[in-house]
Amino acid sequence: MEGTPYANGVGSIMYGMFCSRPDLSYAISVISRFMPNPGQVHWQALKWVLRYLNGTLKGGLKNTRSQPGRDALEGYVDADYACNVDTRKSLSRFEFTLFGTTVTWKANQ
């Protein structure tokens, strides 16, 4: 794995995540944990994220206000119940928007 550009791939995806793709935050947080010593499984996971990006280039998160006269601050919350089959932990996410623009978001287990 010494000749594999694992750190470059993770860094490039991380830059895109911070700029415009918060939907990648959980995947990047998992694969970046193995930056010091990545294995073949981690390289496969990074390639999976790159394939996901390639398939969703025309898509993305779009936040629009459904009723222009309403509140400027809106919040969204989502959770899956014990979806991780290994640890049986749940993944929860939130996002807050101000006038339709994301100002903060988080995904954690």
Query: Tokens in use for 61?
Result: 């998160």
**Which stretch of DSSP H or E encloses residue 62?**
none
pLDDT of residue 87: 76
pTM of the model: 0.57
Q: Three-state DSSP class for 73?
A: strand
Give me the residues of the chain with pLDDT under 70, please: 19, 59-71, 84-85
pLDDT of residue 48: 93
pLDDT of residue 16: 77
Per the listing, tokens 């010091």 go with 36
pLDDT of residue 41: 92
Query: Tokens in use for 19?
Result: 């700029």
